[in-house]
A and B are shown apart, each in its own frame.
Chain A
Amino acid sequence: MAKDTGSPVVESRREILGRIRRALLAKVGFEGLQSSGVATPGAPGTPEPRFAKGGSGPADRLMEVLLDYKATVSVTEPARLSRVLAEVVEHQGIKSVVIPQGLNQDWCRKIKGVDIITDDGKLSIAELSTIDGVITGCSCAIAETGTLVLSGLADEGRRAITLLPDFHFCVVRSSAIIRSVGELFTRVEVSRPVTLISGPSATSDIELRRVEGVHGPRNLFVVIVS
């Protein structure tokens, strides 16, 4: 923005900040200027919150909450990942999937009968919207809220590829599972766009009843690799 003095924009900026300063100087309560020392709950270093149900570990909790969101969850071990992924993808009766450039090619080697298109960043929005599915990794997953976190890493890709296709297959390494939202920003950087995904798209706009599947992918498949 042009910073030439006297332009209306600069004028508005000065006026607004001036009004705020005057408002604060007139009656600034000391209350709030001091920290009352309440630690952020769930932040690293604070006591572990107990999960509501039983003493299950983060991976179990993640699965439980994801299922509650109507996502489909499989659990496997590294050696069997490509087999499980192939089964899940092939079972949907879809014709094509897009994968980010940095996705481990090994994960997809057993998928048969489905076109695998690597996103070179040049696929247009229109092209992406004709692709049925997408396979990605994720930066981390939050157990307590059933949240998959994408932050534009090489095996997650740009945002459009996980938005337009109707089937999202996401691989979660169990080492990437964190307990609660409080730990999120110790794991994830915001220098790239970040998307938190908690279940397939949904709406509660009609009589506050949840309906799964509106604009984002309507089908979410999570494979947890222990």
Chain B
Amino acid sequence: MSRSKVGFPANSLKSINDSQLRANLRSATGAIREKRARVVGEKEDWEKLRRRGEEIRKETLNYLDKYLSQLEFSVERLGGTVHWAGDAREANEIILSLIRSHGENEVIKVKSLTTDEIAMNDFLSENGVTAYETDLAELIVQLAHDKPSHILVPAIHMNRSEIKELFEKTIAKGRRLSDNPVELAETSRLYLRQKFLSTKIAVSGVNFAVADTGTLCVVESEGNGRMCLTLPKVLISVMGIEKVLPRLDDLSVFLELLPRSSTGERMNPYTSLWSGVHDGDGPEEFHLVILDNGRSKVLADPVGRQALRCIRCSACLNVCPVYERSGGHSYDSVYPGPIGAILSPQLFGNESSLSLPWASSLCGACYEVCPVRINIPQVLVHLREKVIAEGHKSSVENASFMLLAGLFKSPPAFGALLRLVAKARRPLNRLSLSGFLPGYLGKWGASRDLPELPSEAFRTWSKRHG
């Protein structure tokens, strides 16, 4: 199948023509870029922190089996139970059987990309269990039967008046709301309060898990996370195998890197740390589900592996010119934006995700802001090669590049090409001015102008001028 018919190119066509969406994205990403730059600028040792972050994540991945075993030991010693899930289905079944063993049919949830990745809510609902999202943006997306479009702000594609209308149709039926974000947040507070007080089981993701102390960490803003982690009787946390950190000291590095990169704050309002089960404080039962779901396969690729360093801050989305114009839904993955473009094809490898390594201009802005220095452009190019090598290639493109390679390898042939182009200069320039390019080049030319061809090639000119 041609790469242009499915996946990103087709999806993004829709969004680039949606002017409301583009306005929402432009204003939101612009605001957060500014905030991030300001708080990062405050840290004189920011570059050192990034390098330390990179180093810790590299070390973690290089000894991942060791640190996971250590984490398991630490958590179980402190009264938690560890479960291992090879893929999404196994994880979902473990979670469902835990919920059923307590005779419950409702859970409250803290925003978690990992549970989105395994489509846990859908699986639970098919099995008679309702999962209530408690993060404001996740709640908005859930009520709208929509999909998240940003790692950190899943409802970034919706503006306040769209959210007001949604609430008036759902959790504030029959009431008139204003589009003031304060009132909208208050509406969600009242709706969720009862759920927090009465629900027996919570499901959360994990931001970091410390191997040596068995300490789990969830970072959030609203307090819905604290509610879910503190009030229910049973807590089930789901983490990808890469979320582990070796030592407690390492955590402090990431507590500096993450909020500044993510929401552009010096620190997020709430960070919760817990280690197993604590007598008289919080859940009486704690389950940690450690999920592979393709990650060990990514680990085997020495270039692509760095994608597993990601701490899900979303700084790369906010600076990406492609994300800002095409929006998160174009990536058709839980992981959108530049990080999604390198993570999704490696994790999922479906036809649609294989188009993502091309969803970039390789400008490198993502690499510059990444708090763990993932060289996203490098991985993008690597994955392009991989996708082509695995046979997902366009025959026209392939033939063109073979022809070009032949010409570049032979100086006489290259010289002849240049002379030919110089001769055909006038008709070629007319053609490019008309905005029409024939055949395969037509799509490329639809949004680009060819530069005007000079009367003489540089090689000829330089030969003449010695």
Query: Which A residues fall within an 8 A CB radius of B?
Result: 1, 8-9, 12-13, 15-17, 19-24, 26-29, 31-33, 35-36, 38-43, 49-50, 52, 65, 69, 121, 125-126, 129, 142, 144-147, 152, 158-160, 163, 180-185, 190-209, 211, 213-217
Contact = CB atoms under 8 A, between A and B. Distances in A.
Contacts, number: 257
A146 to B, nearest CB: 7
B299 A195 contact: no
Nearest to A185: B248
B86 interface: yes
B61 A208 contact: no
Contacts of B153: 204-205, 208
B215 interface: yes
A62 B326 CA distance: 41
B192 interface: yes
Interface of B is mostly: helix
B387 interface: no
Contacts of B299: 20, 23-24
A81 to B, nearest CB: 26
Contacts of B24: 207
B358 interface: no
16 contacts: A16-B84, A32-B61, A36-B55, A40-B250, A126-B197, A163-B226, A182-B256, A183-B252, A196-B273, A202-B222, A203-B185, A206-B184, A208-B156, A211-B185, A214-B222, A216-B222
Interface stretch (B7-15, B64-72, B347-355, B438-446): B64-72
Contact of A205 (B59, B63, B137, B226): B137
A200 B268 CA distance: 10
Contact of B55 (A29, A35, A65, A142): A35
Interface in B28-58: 28, 31-32, 42-45, 48-49, 51-52, 55, 58
Contacts of B63: 24
Interface residues of B, number: 98
Say whether chain A's binding surface is mostly helix, strand, loop, or mixed: loop
Nearest to B293: A16
B215 A190 contact: yes
Contacts of A27: 300-302
B273 A193 contact: yes
Contact of A198 (B28, B86, B266): B266
B223 interface: yes
